[in-house]
Structure 1
Amino acid sequence: MSLLEVTNLGISFGGLRAVDEFNLSIEQGELYGLIGPNGAGKTTVFNMLTGIYKPTDGKIFLDGKDVTGKKTADINKAGVARTFQNIRLFGDQSVLDNVKIGLHNSFEYGTATGIFRLPKFFATEKEMDKKALEILSVFGLDSSADILASNLPYGKQRELEIARALATNPKLLLLDEPAAGMNPNETRDLMNTIALIRKEFGVTILLIEHDMKLVSGICEKLTVLNFGRVLAQGKTSDVLNDPEVIKAYLGE
């Protein structure tokens, strides 16, 4: 059984059909790419997968469970986490606290415990600090745990956002243009980071990306969207050499 199975997914905004008959199957552990021209519907697909948008039709199954149209928090608890094209960190909070925000799916204490600072509060906070530092160490960010997130270099802010998403313990990680705004050196570091994430966390990854060097270097399979519909699907090398994909997207 596929970890993610999407069948005939579609959404309309008024009279505009933004995505139509979108199908996708991703196996456990795969690194899968979703590409296409600007406005093709890629982020709209991500928004449906994460509950920001409710599909007009179609189904989304995560690990065999129907999550179609569920609330974002419920989908996150079911095992889907994401990053955004525009970084959405809590810039006025520390690097450590940004990751701890993602840990609240795994560590909980009652309102009274938090208000009155009961012993369980301190024990839980200590456990969360330890876990957050473990995650940050994968990215080499543990030494920056106490600085404000906004003071990190751009590439490290990208990595922190991924770290925070991983703190929710996802089965499926959605990366929305993780290389956007990066220089070549940062992009190369990102490729290494994503490879490390798969090794350390065993997470399945679906990413949207325009950097074809990154896509061809790390993605095992691709789906190409064009005007809200699937143009091509399959192994990365096959898709990138498809004449229709070259004509519609690569412009060669």
Structure 2
Amino acid sequence: MNMLDVTHLSISFGGLKAVDDFHINVKKGQLYGLIGPNGAGKTTIFNLLTGVYKPNAGSIVLNGNNITGKRSIDINKAGVARTFQNIRLFKDLSVLDNVKVGLHNNNPYSTIEGILRLPRYHKVERKMDERAIELLKVFDLDKYCHYNASNLPYGQQRKLEIARALATGPKLLLLDEPAAGMNPNETAELMDTIRFVRDNFDMTILLIEHDMKLVSGICEELTVLNFGQVLCQGETAAVLNDPEVIKAYLGE
């Protein structure tokens, strides 16, 4: 069964069709790549998948459930989480508290319980602390749990953003240029991290990336986007060797 089925997805801004008849099918547990030149519409698609934008046409089905046009918070609760090309951590909060932000979806307590620090508040906070530390250990960040997020090196901030996304308990994880700004050693480590997340969290991952070494190293299938339309889809090696892809994207 597919985790994600997108058909005939389209959106226009001021008469300009940013995404036109986009389609993609991502299997459960798959590591799938979405690539294309700058301005091809990749981030717009992520914004459609997460409810930031509402499509003019088409459907988005997550694990058999239609989430087309739903609010971002409802799509997140349905099982979609994302990271961003430009890291969006709460940099004045601790590493631990950044992860706990993601946990609040599944560990609610009332406003009154929080204000009055009632027993349920303390019970839920302890539970979230424990779960947050577990997630941070996955990324070897638990030793920095009381640091401000802004004090982490760039590569570790990237990992923290993934940990926070995982805290929401997603079925589908969208990674928007996770290797952006990383050196080769950090990128290699990131590849191992993404594989680990997929294999150990029963996760389906769709990623946007310009680093072809990362794409060819971890993605099983690719969709290439050009001017808002699907140019090519299929197994990674075949797509990257397609003459139209080379012409449009790799510039060769």
Give the corresponding residue for 2:97: 97
Q: Which amino acid aligns with 1:94?
A: S
Give the corresponding residue for 2:30: 30
| Farther off after superposition, 190-199 or 156-165 | 190-199
Give the corresponding residue for 1:192: 192
Q: Equivalences for 1:36-47 in 2 at 5 Å?
A: 36-47=36-47
How far is the alpha carbon of 1:2 from its aligned partner? 1.1
Give the corresponding residue for 2:83: 83
How far is the alpha carbon of 1:127 from its aligned partner? 0.4
- Indicate whether 1:232 and 2:232 are aligned: yes
How far is the alpha carbon of 1:52 from its aligned partner? 0.3
How far is the alpha carbon of 1:114 from its aligned partner? 0.6
| Farther off after superposition, 189-198 or 84-93 | 189-198
How far is the alpha carbon of 1:199 from its aligned partner? 2.0
Give the corresponding residue for 2:160: 160
Q: Equivalences for 1:1-80 in 2 at 5 Å?
A: 1-80=1-80
Q: Which amino acid aligns with 1:103?
A: L
Cα deviation digits, residues 213-241 of structure 1 (max 9, x gap): 00000000000000000000000001001
Distance 2:20 2:112 in 1: 48
Aligned residues: 252
| Farther off after superposition, 191-200 or 125-134 | 191-200
The secondary structure found in structure 1 opposite 2:2 is coil
Unaligned runs of 5+ in 2: none
Distance 2:111 2:15 in 1: 45
- Indicate whether 1:170 and 2:170 are aligned: yes
The secondary structure found in structure 2 opposite 1:23 is strand
Give the corresponding residue for 2:216: 216
The secondary structure found in structure 1 opposite 2:81 is strand
Distance 2:120 2:38 in 1: 49
Question: Aligned-residue CA RMSD in angstroms?
Answer: 0.5
How far is the alpha carbon of 1:110 from its aligned partner? 1.1
Q: Which amino acid aligns with 1:25?
A: N
Distance 1:184 1:64 in 2: 38
Distance 1:64 1:55 in 2: 19
The secondary structure found in structure 2 opposite 1:6 is strand
Distance 2:126 2:228 in 1: 46
Distance 1:65 1:202 in 2: 18
Distance 1:16 1:108 in 2: 42
Distance 2:110 2:47 in 1: 31
Q: Which amino acid aligns with 1:156?
A: Q
The alignment-based identity, stated in percent, is: 70
Cα deviation digits, residues 75-97 of structure 1 (max 9, x gap): 00000000000000000000000
Q: Which amino acid aligns with 1:86?
A: N
Unaligned runs of 5+ in 1: none
Give the corresponding residue for 1:125: 125
Cα deviation digits, residues 98-121 of structure 1 (max 9, x gap): 000000121011111111000111
Give the corresponding residue for 2:183: 183
Give the corresponding residue for 1:114: 114
Give the corresponding residue for 1:249: 249
Cα deviation digits, residues 133-160 of structure 1 (max 9, x gap): 0000000000100000000000000000
How far is the alpha carbon of 1:36 from its aligned partner? 0.2
Cα deviation digits, residues 153-210 of structure 1 (max 9, x gap): 0000000000000000000000000000111111111001111111221110000000
- Deviation above 4 Å: which 4+ runs of structure 1? none
Distance 2:199 2:68 in 1: 29
Distance 2:140 2:47 in 1: 30
